Chain A
Amino acid sequence: MPASTPHAHPCQQATLPPEQAPVHPSVPAVQVQDLCYAYGTEAVLHNITFTVQAGDFLAIIGPNGGGKSTLLRLLLGLLTPSGGEVRIFGKAPAASRSHMGFVPQFTTLRADFPATVLEMVLMGGAQASPLGGGWGTHAKARQKALRLLETLGLSGLAGRPIGSLSGGQCQRAMAARALMAKPEPTQEGEDIPFLLLLDEPTASIDPEGKHCFYDFLETLRGSCTIVLVSHDLSLASPYFTNIALVNRTLTMQPSNQLSPAGLMETFGTHAHSCPIGALQRRLEDSQNQGAGRG
């Protein structure tokens, strides 16, 4: 967990309006303006600007090393931008943590750690505090955790060690953990805005498992805004409302389908070693899959 202290970067200053509070459903879930980030002198992201409206499902796709995970960490407030600004529901990311859930890469979880699935999911309710933070283990929290596990098809696994889960099961358990932070609807039944961020969530899941996972994410669409990053080109699908391609810069795609021009622009460096025909075939395959499911 290295702390990143970015060097100054000659980016434009952000021009977002002042912070708004409290969170209101009409406020965009994510506002990113002229965002730049550099590791030392190595620029990773340059002049990234985009907005995600509440309820959208944005897929951020790009090659390895293109800055996707860095962008996600900036959205989470774990890194300080070299330039520009990030707002989550109109506030700085650190001030919006109670409205954010995070599913990190599968490999960040120590699968050999002695803990049960239920214990791991309960951790999702963690709140920061001067004493190191904590989460509830009372009956209400356990009920919520068990309900989430049931929703994700893991109800019988609550007492199992996390090390005994398959990759797909573990990924779903991590999603349940992220959703523990999701506030309960108001007394009027209105959902409180919530942003779910996922980092390569299907990297360790087989193709069938991927669709099951996306089917689950689809059920959250009404109550959550979802931003997912992946290097998987086959992700073009009707699940997403928007797709953005990231490789140092960000290009929003005009629809929820990948375009050959956008692919060439983003994966251009890979295209030298990967014939464009193969890239296009993968694109066509993914679009056919999307059409088949749509």
Chain B
Amino acid sequence: MADFLASAGSYLFLQNALWAALLASVACGIVGSLVVCNRLTFLAGGASHAAYGGIGLAIYFGWPPLLCTLLFSLGASLLMGFVSLHTPARLAGKEGGADAAIGVLWAAGMAFGIILIELTPGYTGELMGYLFGSILTVPRADIWAMALFDVLLVVVLLFFRQGLWAISIDKDFAQARGLPVRFLYLLLVGLTALAVVMLIRIVGLILVLALLTIPPAIARRFCRSLYSCMVVAGLCSLLFSLAGLVLAWYTNISSGAAIIAVSTLAYGLASLPSLQRKTE
């Protein structure tokens, strides 16, 4: 451990990794809690995999990867959200319902990205980093982008906290009170897409779903309010990211997979019946 701490003081890339873990944890705590409470996990999975289309576009045209991925994922997510909103509840689980549309966009975005990357002449880049994350290679520019997003996230939460809270607990009632439920829902979906793109840098698009759902799922077992759930989920996310980073450092395994392994272990421990009884 001392070796890791000494290296963190010396190496810029490790400092960047620690900053990335901290900043991603803020997004994970806030957005992850809303995703879990709104049962948007499938939609978040669709957003993360569709983001691969943005990566493909960025590589093919030589555009900035973060911005391109962010815009593509945002567009795909809003489309999924729009379909969800316009699918009657009685059709939601049936053929042609929102689930099917999300599944189609999920696969289509990924396929689009793969095709574009394969068509890119002479591209030999490292794709594993996008699929499984590479927190140790996050550049300083991305750290600033993540910080900016966190600020935006907190500001949006402060402005819309009651609206987002209302649609999370009871959409029907919120709509009956005249709250702009559709706007708030699409806002939440948009925030989810942005958070997904941020977290892709840490754990990759394959594993992003786990980091977005495991910490809030653990937090929800012990918290009685949405806001405390956000704080605890954020702290859990930071803890898991740091533990995974240390594990990857000493065992030379993929940092994204190590972070998810730690998170899954913690989820298993939190699900133990003895802990369940204590919190009831």
Contacts and interface: CB of A to CB of B under 8 A. Distances in A.
A131 B166 CA distance: 13
A123 B173 contact: yes
Contact of A133 (B169, B178, B225): B178
Interface stretch (A112-120, A246-254, A280-288): A112-120
Interface string B164-177: 11101111111111
A108 B171 contact: yes
Interface string A97-120: 100101011001110111110011
27 contacts: A2-B86, A76-B176, A78-B176, A94-B178, A102-B173, A104-B172, A108-B171, A108-B173, A109-B170, A109-B173, A110-B37, A113-B169, A115-B165, A115-B169, A115-B226, A116-B224, A123-B170, A124-B173, A126-B178, A127-B178, A131-B159, A131-B160, A132-B164, A133-B178, A133-B179, A133-B180, A161-B224
B37 A126 contact: no
The main secondary structure of chain B at its interface with chain A is helix
Contacts, number: 115
A234 B128 CA distance: 64
Interface residues of B, number: 38
B179 A128 contact: yes
A1 B185 contact: yes
B89 interface: yes
B71 interface: no
Nearest to A116: B224
A1 B167 CA distance: 10
Best-buried of B170, B174, B223 by chain A (most CB within 10 Å): B170
A134 B86 CA distance: 25
B170 A104 contact: yes
Interface string B229-252: 100000000000000000000000
Interface in A67-91: 76, 78
Contacts of A127: 177-178
Contact of A123 (B85, B86, B169, B172): B169
